[in-house]
A = this chain, B = another copy of it.
Amino acid sequence: MNCEIIAVGTELLTPHRQDTNSLFLTSRLNELGIDVLFKTIVGDRRAQLAGEVRVALSRTDVVITIGGLGPTEDDVTRAAVADALGIRLRRNPEIVGALYARFAARRALMTENNARQADVLDGSVILENSCGTAPGQWLDTVYGEHRKLVILLPGPPQEAKAMFDLECMERLRAVAPKRSIATRTLKAAMIGESQADARIAPIYGRYHDVETTILAHTGDLTIHLACGKSAMEMARQRVDELAGKIEEELDEYIYSSQGESLEQIVLDYLGMRGATLAVAESCTGGLISERLTSISGSSRSFLGGAVVYSNALKTSLAGVPQTVLQEHGAVSRETATALAEGIRSKTAATYGIGVTGIAGPGGGSDEKPVGLVYVAVSNGKHTSVVEQRFAGGREAIRFRASQQALDMVRRQLM
């Protein structure tokens, strides 16, 4: 069984935007043993989209459109799919009612254009949108004498994800072939792609039936393993065997063997130890806190911290002695240490993180160039400090610094 994903939106045809929904969808479809053969991007033009839907129906079994289900004139997907299939749209009174209720609950007036979201392809099943207004649609139909599935999903990623997981997975599982794909995701921090690949290529090269993909993101490495077999047990065994060997080779660089993020792993470890964490951030400017608090339930272990961009705040909020700043400068081993120790004692946390550095592009000097970052972690008895000279632009330097800090805490907790 195979599929074409059509992302709809003129903005996706500009140099500024990319379709990202199809990545998530592909991973889910692959889990179900459904191959993605084509991915297409079309603008918000009814005739072009209708033509593309016809092309997709002629070459794949399942056609999924993403986007163009909103209330505006630009939202042409419903009409275009109806054109392609030669069927009608009917305004569904129940959806209209639900839309009115949704607006009323938020004490907002529903404008007339919103009712377009209630236009439904004749014969389709309505897919509930748990995160937004536009419902999706699922149509089991016949095109050119072949059975085809057509699925309409909304464009906003969290809406598309929730709808696919809650409304489509089980329905697709019922019609998908019985082929099982086992996957594993390993993650490593603070090791380069080529360095890691040189070490593990001789290992995964011996597993021809396992697809190995290495993805490098600044300071973060993800190793995807996938294996398809007729029985899940066989696929699972091959993937686990290879994962075990890679973990052994990369050892302490591997922070996650099931794909969890580094911030999640740090919070898990803190929770297991009954420990707490506080952060004093200069050059990362809140990024470490933001990463940790993006995880639901982080308040159990993460107390908070200070973003100390100015020197005055380094002293007043994180307790860095003025003499340290005067003698060593804001970007120094000593200031990082004082930040970690200061925030730890101010907040009575088990661990304190201190980060200071030059994220650039301005502010560097010969002695203290852009990319110079000091990261310190204090546990009350001992404070470790690391000096790094990170490459890349402002965003990359900030991310690498946050990665370094979280990884140091992880290693202390291991």
Which A residues have a C-beta under 8 Å from some C-beta of B? Answer: 9-18, 20, 23-24, 26-27, 30, 36-45, 48, 51-52, 55, 59, 70-74, 106, 108, 111-114, 131-132, 156, 158, 192-195, 197-198, 201, 205, 211, 213-216, 222, 224, 278-279, 281, 284-290, 292-294, 296-299, 302-310, 312-313, 316-317, 346-348, 359-362, 389, 391-396, 398
Contact A307–B308 (Cβ < 8 Å): no
CB pair A14–B213 under 8 Å, yes or no, is yes
The answer to whether A316 and B346 have CB atoms under 8 Å apart is yes
- A281: chain B residues at CB < 8 Å are 286, 289
Closest to A131 in B: B392
Pick from B59, B72, B306, B395: contact of A193, CB under 8 Å: B72
What is the count of identical protomers in the complex? 2
Q: Which residue of B lies closest to A4 (CB)?
A: B40
Separation of A346 and B306 alpha carbons in the complex (Å): 12
Contact B389 A106 (CB under 8 A): yes
Picked from B23, B114, B286, B361, the residue with its CB within 8 Å of the CB of A293 is: B286
| A303 touching B294, Cβ below 8 Å | no
Q: How far is the CA of A361 from the CA of B131 in the complex (A)?
A: 13
* Interchain Cβ contacts under 8 Å between A and B, 6 examples: A13-B36, A73-B201, A131-B391, A285-B292, A305-B307, A316-B346
Partner of A17 from the list B213, B310, B391 (CB cut-off 8 Å) is B213
Pair A13/B27 contact, Cβ less than 8 Å: no
Complex CA distance for A409 and B238, rounded to whole angstroms? 56
Residues of B within 8 Å of A389, CB to CB, are: 106
Enumerate chain B residues within 8 angstroms of A394, measured Cβ to Cβ. 294, 296
Distance, CA A164 to CA B20, complexed state (A): 25
Q: Is A308 touching B316 in the complex (CB atoms < 8 A)?
A: no
Specify which of B37, B215, B293, B308 is in contact with A304 (CB 8 Å cutoff).
B308
Please give, as numbers and ranges, the residues of chain B lying within 8 Å of A309 by CB-CB distance: 293, 298-299, 302-304
- B residues less than 8 Å from A16 (CB atoms): 23, 213, 215, 222, 224
Q: How far is the CA of A193 from the CA of B359 in the complex (A)?
A: 35
C-alpha gap A287/B281 in the complex (Å): 13
In the docked arrangement, what's the CA distance between A106 and B195, Å?
A: 13
- Residues A285 and B296 in contact, CB atoms below 8 Å apart: no
A395 to B291, CA, bound (A): 11
- Which of chain B's residues have a CB closer than 8 A to the CB of A51? 59
Interfacial chain B residues near A55, Cβ < 8 Å: 55
Report if A131-B393 is in contact (Cβ < 8 Å); known contacts: A285-B292, A286-B289, A309-B293: yes
Q: Inside 8 A of A361's CB, which chain B residues have their CB?
A: 296
How many whole Å from A288's CB to the nearest CB in chain B?
A: 7
Q: Do A304 and B310 touch (CB < 8 A)?
A: yes
Nearest B-chain residue to A288, judged by Cβ: B286
Collect the chain B residues with CB atoms within 8 Å of residue A360's CB.
296
Contacts of A20 in B (CB 8 A): 18
B114 near A194: Cβ-Cβ < 8 Å: yes
Residues of chain B with a CB closer than 8 A to A198's CB: 111-113
Q: Shortest Cβ distance from A250 into chain B, in angstroms?
A: 15
- Does the CB pair B293–A197 fall under 8 Å? no
- Whole-angstrom CA separation of A298 from B43 in the bound complex: 37
- How far is the CB of A131 from the nearest CB of chain B, in Å? 6
- B306 near A317: Cβ-Cβ < 8 Å: yes
Give bound CA distance, A285 to B30, whole Å: 35
Contact A38 B27, beta carbon cutoff 8 Å: no
Residue among B205, B312, B346 making CB contact with A317, cutoff 8 Å? B346
Whether A310 lies near B299 (C-beta < 8 A) is yes
- Bound: A316/B398 CA distance, A: 27
Q: What are the 6 A-B residue pairs with the smallest beta carbon separation, nearest first?
A: A285-B293, A286-B289, A286-B286, A15-B27, A286-B290, A304-B309
Closest chain B CB from A54 CB (angstroms) = 10
B43 x A41 contact (CB < 8 A): no
With both beta carbons as reference points, the residue of chain B lying nearest to A347 in the complex is identified as B313
